[in-house]
Chains A and B, each alone.
Chain A
Amino acid sequence: MASAPYLRRSDSVFTLDLDLLFALAPAMAGAVCAGGWHAYALLFLGAGVCALLSQTAARLRGELLPDYGFDALLTGLLFVLTLPAGAPLWSAAAGAALAAAVGELSRRTGLYLLPAAAARLLLLPVLPAAPPASSFLWGAAGGAMGDFAGIFLLLGAAYLAARRLSRKILQPAFLLSAVLAQLPFGSGLSPMGGLLPFAALCLLPVPGVGPMTPLGQLLAGVLFGALAGLSRGVGFAEPGVLLCVLGMGLLRSRFDGVGFFFAVRRMDISAQP
């Protein structure tokens, strides 16, 4: 018998995922602008393979994926958006399979690894990212598909902000410190591109990535943003950003611990005898 409460807000993981999908829609439109019909095929293939494999793994465990495997579908889409527009079709399928495997691993170990980011990181040796070609707002054709149209990413971010799903401290702190950290590396380096805007605006709001306390968000955002900026400065843009996103998921409880330590002074949280 389930315990109280018997009245819940209608928000669930499914509705959060749905909101994220709506927020990703402009980025997907940007990807189609960058890659045409090929991008469509990559998106469908990635989402389909990831959902199918996650569903199969759940069936083998004797379970059903909650919310019809919508979470896995979203993971597939996120992964494909980190690929370059000209990526071969096999890379979408292989990466989606890797993402499904990482998701399964994450479920079993309790460690939070953002599957899309982990899969892209694993595929980087065989499918390196090309450096972004032009400006942030439109036409960064050489980088990841998700980065193609910054203006579209901002639209998605505005939607998440309107739905109060954006991380108010984490995202700006990450983006700002990344841009500042790469300034010393020369004026020829574009402040954006190399998965940085996509990670800040689309990967960080994914449920589970990043700490929840304000101080934890600030610390994680500044630290990982600086690391991402530095890695971009030394020529490891995509791996650096992806590692930072993964680190934020893995270490979120540590950062929350720091934030909690300062918040705890205002609370009487002594244990009940």
Chain B
Amino acid sequence: MSCRARGALDFSIPPAEWLPLPPPPEVCLTHHGADRPDAGPTVRAGDAVLLGQLLAPGAGPYAPVFSSVSGRVRAVSEQTILLENDRMNTRSPRLKAHATADELAPDELRALLGSFGLLPPGAADRPLVLNALVPEPGLDDGFLLREPERVFGGLRLYLRACRPAEALVAVGRRQQEVRRLAVRCGFSPRVLSGRYPQAREPVLLQALFGRRLPPGGCAVLSPEALGAVWDAVYDGLPPVFCEVTLHIQDRPSNLHFRVPAGTPAEHILRAAREAWPVTLAGGLLTGRPLAARGEPVAGLSLCLSCLELPEPRRPARCLSCGRCAAVCPAGLWPALLRSLSRRRQQSFGAPRCLRCNLCAAVCPAGLPVWYQTAKKEALHGVGAVSPSE
């Protein structure tokens, strides 16, 4: 294993570098028309599209899809819309920027954010948490440090729109600069340990409120989501950009890019002149290898981690050391659940598992996380994993 930290996992926050990126020649956006027809695309191949134009209306749990570039629709499939970028960034005339937020009444503001898919259903009146914690070891809080005005301005707009009963800013102990910025912007942050996986919603809410909240009992927003709220009001732009963090093994600082949603990962890697054997979508603890280097980036933020090909590590037998149980933030016994899941060929404990992979990260025997194993075995039969595991 090439990425090892001594003694414990490395929770230090690397500094960030921001790089300009040439516009991508094409972008690929995902829609949910296959799952729900009324959430499907409203454009066809050959149509001209403008920046910020609605391509697929949201329905139910699915957010609307907007064009992240101007140009032409090259192809529409069951799940994706492929756009050719004309590099002009011609905005849709329907987009309206507001000079001040006072132009909008709270109801109008709420309607605007809702139409852009930036308000979760029933967001009003629920407590609000700005989750400024660093999500995984190796990642950083570069976006918040670079764009505090957008983030805290977006938070003010959100408060005006939704009037939540309570608004909290959660910051890690090591994020002194973020704390200073929050105070300067008029918020008193709640300082938490910030140890992984505290940025995960259930762990974060437990730390903030001292109890488990029901699902949806609290609106937890990332700095990037609040940045998008700011853009929606002052730029009139729907969420069409993705804040990409590029974490490169052995490099002291992360690289940050702001790219149109749907930009192929390969375009970012080529621009950064990084060619590594493995690229993960996500951090070192929970990331998955990209299916293809051309896989598009999606969502408001994404981390790409570049690293050497990990040495194959043959898992040993469970040592009954109990370290997995000691670190499990959900209070589970991963090793025992793994053996139970293997016997019954079902993934026991999966609903409560946070998928933080901490159990696998601390396992001295190098065993994989139990629910992955159980799922794999349920699909391929128990023989897929050797009995010595």
Contacts and interface: CB of A to CB of B under 8 A. Distances in A.
Contact of A110 (B8, B305, B322, B387): B387
Interface residues of A, number: 38
Nearest to A17: B364
Contacts of A209: 320
B337 interface: yes
Contact of A3 (B10, B305, B350, B372): B372
A209 B320 CA distance: 8
Main SS of chain B's interface residues? loop
Nearest to A66: B314
B348 A270 contact: yes
Interface stretch (A25-33, A226-234, A237-245, A252-260): A252-260
B234 interface: no
B365 A13 contact: yes
Given A4-B286, A6-B284, A252-B320, A11 B362 contact: yes
A110 B365 CA distance: 15
A270 B352 CA distance: 9
Given A7-B4, A12-B364, A110-B388, A212 B332 contact: no
Contacts of A268: 349, 351-352
A13 B319 contact: yes
B171 to A, nearest CB: 23
Among the interface residues A3, A7, A8, which one has the most CB atoms of the partner chain B within 10 A? A7
Contacts of B312: 2
A5 B284 contact: yes
B346 A272 contact: yes
A7 B387 contact: no
Contacts of B288: 3-4
A10 B336 CA distance: 23
Contacts, number: 140
Contacts of A211: 320
Contacts of B282: 4
B118 to A, nearest CB: 29
A82 interface: no
A212 B314 CA distance: 22
A253 B338 CA distance: 12
B319 A208 contact: yes
B331 A266 contact: yes
A6 to B, nearest CB: 4
Contact of B320 (A256, A269, A270): A256
Contacts of B348: 269-271
Interface string B1-30: 101111111100000000000000000000
Contact of B313 (A2, A256, A263): A2
B344 A271 contact: yes
Nearest to B375: A272
Nearest to A165: B321
B1 A8 contact: yes
Contacts of B10: 7
B302 interface: no
Nearest to A6: B284
Given A66-B314, A267-B331, A270-B348, A1 B8 contact: no
A12 B311 CA distance: 14
A6 B305 contact: yes
Interface residues of B, number: 64
Contacts of B320: 207-212, 252, 256
Nearest to B8: A9
B290 to A, nearest CB: 11
A253 B318 CA distance: 11
Nearest to B368: A3
A7 B284 CA distance: 6
A72 B282 CA distance: 39
Contact of A4 (B8, B9, B285, B341): B285
A15 B364 contact: yes
Q: Which of B288, B312, B321: most chain A CB closer than 10 A?
A: B321
A97 B372 CA distance: 38
B357 interface: yes
Contacts of B364: 9, 11-13, 15-16, 207
A207 B286 contact: no
A260 B319 contact: no
Nearest to B327: A9
A271 B352 contact: no
B307 interface: yes
A5 B344 contact: no
B146 interface: no
A6 B136 CA distance: 12
Nearest to A257: B336
Interface string A14-51: 01100000000000000000000000000000000000
A174 interface: no
B317 A112 contact: yes
Contacts of B366: 8, 12
A187 to B, nearest CB: 37
B134 interface: no
A269 B310 CA distance: 32
A57 B387 CA distance: 18
Contacts of B322: 212-213
A59 interface: no
Contacts of B137: 7
A6 B337 contact: no
A51 B387 CA distance: 23
B346 A5 contact: no
25 contacts: A2-B310, A4-B285, A4-B287, A6-B3, A6-B307, A7-B10, A7-B137, A8-B1, A8-B3, A9-B361, A10-B6, A11-B323, A112-B317, A207-B364, A211-B320, A212-B320, A212-B336, A213-B322, A260-B336, A267-B333, A267-B352, A269-B349, A269-B352, A270-B351, A272-B346
Kindly list the 3 A-B residue pairs having the minimum CB-CB distance in the complex, ordered from nearest: A207-B319, A271-B346, A212-B322
Given A1-B289, A7-B3, 18 more contacts: A4-B280, A4-B285, A4-B360, A5-B360, A6-B305, A8-B4, A8-B361, A9-B9, A9-B364, A10-B6, A12-B364, A66-B316, A110-B387, A210-B320, A213-B322, A256-B336, A272-B351, A272-B371
